[in-house]
Structure 1
Amino acid sequence: MHCGGDIYAGNYGIRSRRSLNASGSITSNGDIRVGWHISAGKDLISTSGHIHVGDDVIVSGKINAGEFVFCGGRLHSMEDIRAEGGIDVSYDILAGGNIHAGFGINVGQSIRCTGTLSFTKNLFAGISTHIPHAADDAVVECREISGGGIIRSGQLFLRQPEISPTIIPPAKSGLSLSDITRWADKHLLEAVLGKQIMESGGIILREAAHMTATELMRRAGLSEADAECILAAIELGRRATKSLMKGKVIGTSEDVFSWFHDRLIDRRKEGFFCITLTQKHRIIDCHSISEGSLSSTLVHPREAFIPAIRDSAAAVIYCHNHPSGDTSPSVEDKTLTSRLVSCGEILGVRVLDHIVIGNNGFYSFNDHGLIDKALADSSNPNNKSYIASSPSMSLTTTSGKPKSRKPVCVSGEKPLTTATRTPGVRKRIPKS
């Protein structure tokens, strides 16, 4: 249920199997029972009933329940949280004001409030046996505690924590892209999820780009829906960046590195990519050719030139990463480059460069003169290595010897010492 203003219900209460979202307040004289999550731009009030929510509760105003509050996710309010009964939350409780429970408080992880934490009976943080997300070292952080029973928690801090505002974007925020680019990672995540998060949960956006939804859930304690939302936002950014690059002119190997470095850094597997270009070296598109293991990826010239033929490209630039960070090309990298250049000459599609990207630098075959050497070798009628050799090539693998008509698996890239940019003369890519 979505409402652009307030939601009010009488004694019969509010019941929804899914979510309940309102830009204003949500008020009921009876119970409020929601299967998924609740978000409100103002207050959430049940004057004489229970508040029972299957997932998160994110409210910019206060939360007030005449009886108990049960929450299967996070309970966040920028003002007071008050329940005449008890408070039972699976994850964490955050309040910009006071927290009061007429009975006890039971929370799976942490409690943070800027005011007073008061309760009549017991406070259990992170040690509940019936909460699946209970933490061993749960934190209770508030200005003061007024309790009438047992307090059990991993850590207890009596201070006033800093709590940033909940992000519930208005219909017309007036923000520009230049404003958003100055936001911290935490605020960007909050804007994507449409709710407040206690912290980035150890999420490094650069690493998150290469995680699965399951890894994000385990690493940051996110729900499946939140993890999928973050990955969707990352993919949207990738596509937007890719569309912006189309039509740009590639002049040097530095241009390719500046574009691909952020996409490939911290990538755990080797990937092989093809940039298709026009006659004037403007980018047509970027294609992923193959993805391999930690130390190798299998590439065949047949697959490597399919994007170029489909895009009617005049030239291509190939690029792959070394997860170890070392940019030194292996013997297999050099052999594959020679084959690709030779096949490109036959197809009329010029291979301008092959770039190996590491953590802090890159190696350009064109800058080191190896593309010109491969062109000279391919023009030699006595050189037929690209025809007589095996049909596919592993860029970098572990061990073994070439076998006839089977993928080659030989020694791979050198062990990583210090990932630095491989020195070489930065030549401009020649015009076709």
Structure 2
Amino acid sequence: MPKARRARGSGAAPALPLAEQILQDAAPRARARRGAEEPGGDGGGDEFVDARLSRRILEQARRQQEELEAEHGPGAPAAPRQRGALLGPGSDEDEDEEWPSLEKAAAAAGRSGDYGGEVEVDPEDEKAIEMFMNKNPPLRRTLADIIMEKLTEKQTEVQTVLSEISGCPMPQLDPRVLEVYRGVREVLSKYRSGKLPKAFKIIPALSNWEQILYITEPETWTAAAMYQATRIFSSNLKERMAQRFYNLVLLPRIRDDIAEYKRLNFHLYMALKKALFKPAAWFKGILIPLCESGTCTLREAIIIGSVLSKCSIPVLHSSAALLKLAEMQYSGANSIFLRLLIDKKYALPFRVLDALVFHFLAFRTEQRLLPVLWHQSFLALAQRYKEDLSSEQKEALLELLKFHSHPQISAEIRRELMNSGTRDVEGEQVAAME
């Protein structure tokens, strides 16, 4: 009898031997779970949630309840997200997604201690830092005063140029534009999450962006709005314009927040980290002006310095910042920033190393008691770059230890300097081999 032909195109599996079919029929089969769709079923017969998943659900619910109570008080419902309805919402889709991640990052950073916004300051170190502060600091002006002064100078200059060229005065803003950005000001003063107005996102593309920014009154922005603004301006402004935004808007807000609350809001701290997207503007607009003011407190230096230690910065920008810090007039906060940048272990040019050495040698005539932070930065230089110093520089630094010494740190500095090679001896060996 001929074999039965198998139907073409059928996707059926080949038939098993009879013995295996009998064994499969005899084996017990898993019964389908009875759900709520079955008539008469209660929907909960075989469906259950294991203990691990239950713990995760309860933990998430507890965290959300704590966040709601922290924002709105016990038992209060969540506030609705405020949308920038003015001129329509923005087109960025990542803003709604970033807010929950930012909240989770804040909670996680607070639990792990990674968030640098809260610091404990030693009173003795704070007093030592105050000895080197500017005794006659300039009058502290509000952010509106600073921006208005800059705008007045620029507007006067532009009006003079236009009058000389065309003989017509500089045109004023359209009343409709003023009305729009006053509405943006109201949104930013209450902003917590969600998308920003389109009118605000186009500010970096405007030629008179500083004037428009002044209308929105940055001193009234919430911390969350300041973070979102820093994201937009650091991404879309050129380096020089971003530097002005950091210096006129972000830095005064950060200093005011630290002075008032003795800590830094998490959103402002994240704004500092976002601003490092343009390192040159960050150094020129935040770090250098802060040190040049002579009024940087120990708390400000620790909080802002923690951003330096956590972020990756190109070596050229860090080298330029080290050179500038080493050459400017000393204030106690300089030692913190010098030590943090030195501890990044860059391959620094010899010009920068020489400037650092001369910075410390300038204290040979200093009669005041130097803070521990100065000795720590001195130790960091000796540990990281002992092999890159010349023999004359090492001798001068060892001589400096006779003028300013610390019971524990100076002995370690001396050991590092004496038990290491020098760059000039290495150069002589290379020349002899050639």
Ranked by relative contact order (alpha carbons within 8 Å, sequence separation 6 or more), the top structure is: 2
Hey, which of these two has a bigger chunk of helix by percent?
2
TM-score, scaled to structure 2: 0.29
TM-score, scaled to structure 1: 0.29
Hey, which of these two has a bigger chunk of strand by percent?
1
> Which structure is larger by alpha-carbon Rg, 1 or 2?
2
